[in-house]
Structure 1
Amino acid sequence: MAAAYFSHVPREAALTPDPGWRAVSREAGEAALTPDPGRPAVSREAGDGGGVEGRSGGLPVAVVEAYAELARRVLAGPARLGRTRLVAVDGPSGAGKSRFAARLADALAVRSGGRPPVVHTDDLLDGWDDQVTFWPRLDEWVLAPLREGKPGAYRRYSWVRQRFLSRPVPVPVAPVLVLEGVSAARAVVRPELTLAVFVTAPASLRLARAVARDGPEILPELRRWHAGERAHFAADDTASRADLLVDGAPTLPHDTDRYYVRIR
């Protein structure tokens, strides 16, 4: 099995509230639409995603926000990758990155009239050992052409066949490109990002999701993968530099198709 399978996670598991977190729902003034106005809730710790704390140094506050409003903000933002607004959805495996990316792409499709391309970094990895070293491939095949206003294309890696497939996957020049996966918001690409998102969840939950989905035989590679993620995020300071920190395992009641829970 392979890291590519981590991108398809089940719906949020029920978690035991942790009184170390407080959560609120805010009105639309801060880009938040509230399914349950004014109702306080408690969310558990979001995990080892890289130093999560409130802006004032206190407890983080969870806020329910609408994908539709985030899509509006993205489209109103500057294009820094040629004519394209690049959105990076980063975070550890099993945190809920691909779901967030898909929901945001859906919201962007409604606002712009066309669904933006979504590129998953797992599709560009040359196996387990290429966890963060795949970037030159992504840059050559996708990012460099878009910088010049030209369409890109990449070859998807097959984790079953353990090789890159011959058929190219086109990446058109579009108003927005969503890049999803571990290290998608790394330092080298930050100057070209319109939005950097970091999705986090407790390590124990992320591990349980992967084992439930792929079986216990994945554990040796998975533990090595998690160690690599921790080392990369610590060195890159990814979470602290993200524009948006998202709880990938929220307990705050909300419509998960239309809303997400921001924790910074």
Structure 2
Amino acid sequence: MLPSALTSAREPAIHDLVSRIRRLGPSCGPVRLVGVDGHAGSGKSTFAGLLAGALDGAPVLRLDDIASHEELFGWTARLLSEVIEPLGRGETAHYSPYDWRTRRFGPPRLLPPAPVIVVEGVGAGRRALRPHLALLLWMDLPREESWSRGRERDGEEQREFWDGWVRAESEHFAGDPSRPFADLLVRQRQEGYKLLTGPAGTDDPPPPLTHGDDPSAMW
């Protein structure tokens, strides 16, 4: 078992989320696409890794590999043509991950149509992708706190990039918000996570409240 899977096995919220995902029907050809969106620095990558580990090593498509310095958010058409459309046909997708240090795209990477693929990154819940998602999760951390964490993580050498990123992210979410369409909100606690019903709600009856500490918690 992978380390992330070991960690996830001890996380009740992720365990129950995995059960929910496995009950969903395919959303993109034979694939269940699960989007993990949120502000930069909100913990998307860590949560997506834990979720993928609990899903028996499901592939994770990181949108940082799709975006670039020139296209921080203008990558929709490329993602659709290189990834979403092939998966929708049940075919292996091919995309070239971007290297943020060398500022160039690398050799093609294969993404087979697995039963579940986790799509992680700012903009994973954008309107062009939502029709292809089986479930949309939003990392529910305020933007200022998220950005502060991200700046601290990346250090002083990335200060100029972060100044530009904050403007670009603010413009993106102003015109194409994701949180109002999230099925579930993910909140990180001191230990583990809590999942809440998102603004988009759900057609499925929620499971019993076995975890969490307030009536709005799903797990």
TM class by shorter chain equals 0.7 to 0.9
Equivalent of 1:157 in 67, 88, 98: 98
| Corresponding residue of 2:171 | 231
State the match for 2:135 in structure 1.
195
Alignment of 1:160-175 (within 5 A): 160-166=101-107, 168-175=108-115
TM-score, structure 1 as length reference: 0.66
* Aligned match of 1:98: 45
Partner Cα distance (1:95, 1:213) in 2: 11
Q: 2:160 & 2:55 partners in 1: Cα distance?
A: 38
Contact 2:38 2:140 in 1 (8 A): yes
Query: CA offset at residue 178 of structure 1?
Result: 0.7
The yes-or-no answer on 1:120 pairing with 2:62 is yes
Determine if contact 2:76/2:128 at 8 Å carries over to the other structure: no
The correspondence of residues 169-188 of structure 1 with structure 2, limited to 5 A, is 169-188=109-128
TM-score after normalising by structure 2:
0.79
Partner SS for 2:134 = strand
Map residues 5-20 of structure 1 onto 2, 5 A cutoff.
none
Alignment of 1:34-53 (within 5 A): none
Query: How far apart are 1:263 and its partner, in Å?
Result: 4.1
Are residues 1:262 and 2:195 paired? yes
Quick check: 2:13–2:195 contact (8 Å CA) kept in 1?
no
- The reply on whether 1:245 has 2:185 as its aligned counterpart is yes
- The residue aligned with 2:83 is 142
Q: For the residues of structure 2 that align with 1:218 and 1:77, how far apart are their CA atoms? A: 40
For the residues of structure 2 that align with 1:107 and 1:210, how far apart are their CA atoms? 25
Please name the residue that 1:18 is paired with. Answer: none
Gaps (5+ residues) in structure 1? Answer: 1-34, 36-63, 110-114
Match of 1:69 in 2: 16
Structure 1 runs (4+) deviating above 6 angstroms are: none
- Deviation digits for residues 118-175 of structure 1, max 9, x if unmatched? 0100011122x41210121111211110110101121111111110012x21101111
Change (3 A) 1:241 1:204: closer
Residues 59 and 118, structure 2, Cα contact 8 Å, conserved in 1: yes
Superposed displacement of residue 207, structure 1? 3.1
Q: Contact 2:42–2:149 (CA<8 Å) still a contact in 1? A: no
Cα contact 1:92–1:226 (8 A) shared by 2: no
CA-based RMSD of the aligned residues comes to: 1.9
| 2:210 alignment partner in structure 1 | none
CA distance in 2, matches of 1:216, 1:204: 17
> Residues of 2 paired with 1:185 and 1:202: CA distance?
17
After TM superposition, the structure 1 = structure 2 runs for residues 14-33 of structure 1, keeping only pairs within 5 Å, are none
Answer whether contact 2:48 2:60 (CA < 8 A) is retained: yes
